Structure 1
């Protein structure tokens, strides 16, 4: 039987009262339950907030206007505690025009406290407290109503202990001398545009991209931007709107007109009908427009370069672990490889987060000029 069942906000008036309480507290914990598989933007089914005194749930499926809560999260005077909060915070800038303002993510902070990154909430709670999060409801359909007491209690536990975790984490971080690094790393969740996905940055699940000409690449880039814009407009995932392989095929063999598009294999019929003229126009405009810059290619690494990288990588990881910083929070091998191979080829060092902020200062003793701060 559920105990300590949290209250449930189901009206705009109740939410405004709750927001006033959270604002007065000056800090609150925040989490969400959402479904994201069928839409471009997640569908929020339940929101959880907590102060030191109490936890409360908000039911967006009851038609509650959530804008006052998003505006609160954008207020720099109020701290929002989250755990792995990237997706939970996504609506703030999109719906208010302002990014989240004062965020403390316990998953990020734990990476400076001698704990793994990323660390689940359950694992972190077990490591630092005696609290019991209860039975796992990972596969719960949060759209179903009414919400049972045990489900409400489970949801509330996602925020109920975040303030305590923050206190315990800060103690461990201070012991290791990393207190100033935590807010700097958390500020990445407050950067304008941090939640806007770049359609050119993802890896395509398709064949045929290797060795593309610059003109073909220009067409593909234009199609990627177009696909994302239309997926947002139709509120569907980009790959559900149009598959990566189809997009690459369109770039390799651009349809000249509507008739050519209608005969194009793999394009869904509704897309062919609705965008018969638009897709060929996107391809033509990109092919006739400016070409993307040539990709900078370093010479293939020598065996000596590979051996150097293989020697540096474990040393950097051990250096981080000895300092109580999770290596996977600090860096990944791909970004270290880019620096090592550029240096070996005598090329300018590429832009890298390893050359900025706390990472550059921390890595200087072991990587030296490889992490020279960016100008």
Structure 2
């Protein structure tokens, strides 16, 4: 069993393209020995840090604590590797567990088989030592064991998060194809949002981007509304330490004095957004309006930061050429002095915007290859803008 102040390796999983953002988040939280991989970042910290990482990381999907790694080229070697861990350090015979696995291997081609072999090794060890096998529980186990096999290398870890960390606890109402919360936070951080200006999501749907934007601006721990983490059922769970860390993180919350607005043309959608915003305890920061972005205009002189996820045609049937041209025309004519970012998986439609993007960043929305596009809309010419500095 790890001592609470002992440093150990952890792995934070994330989406493609968010590795650097996540590494920066970890650095800011105080992690050490940070190294980026593919859709993940390795780092070191103590027991308190695994609590803090789950509570605060905006772009992590789950936090794993590796226990053992080894070479496996057949089921016997897998069984032996699992058996080499003393599972009584992590599990009582009266507890329940679940195995989840990811395999990229020529030998192991089915995650269900890997789960079964891992379960057998753990259950057999308990039966041999105690005469009692712990139960397998898929829905709400006491311990979640993660097995990752790439070619012939196997890593066995504990999953400290449980449900994916995108499940923040505030979103109870959604529309068709809502944006994933981790993706929303990643877009905002990728765009450089820190709470520096007014903010607008002109196609706000169920409010996810708005909520994540305020949480970043106010430095609110992103999973503060979440009901449970898997580590709360670990044998070494330290509630006092967690409470101390939560309190310390909440003391770093900061004021935010700019306007945050969300528009949507559908009143039912706005009701869902309002419910989610209330659940996140952010109603005082966010104003919602039933409004068509294409007939709206920027009222204030001050700069505005715009981030949105245009509809893909499920909720609203759209003519791609007209729709994307309207985005460009609205920004150019009605939103001077704005820094606009939006994500789209419709790579062909980008040309219809009619503006040259300042940046194009490749990412994935679910399994759809997408681009995060940035359009800087200057008041007057760029030349004039630059000459003012």
Shorter-chain TM-score category? under 0.3
Per the normalisation by structure 2, the TM-score is 0.25
Task: Indicate the structure with greater helix content.
Answer: 1
Per the normalisation by structure 1, the TM-score is 0.26
Structure number with higher relative contact order (C-alpha < 8 Å, ≥ 6 residues apart): 1
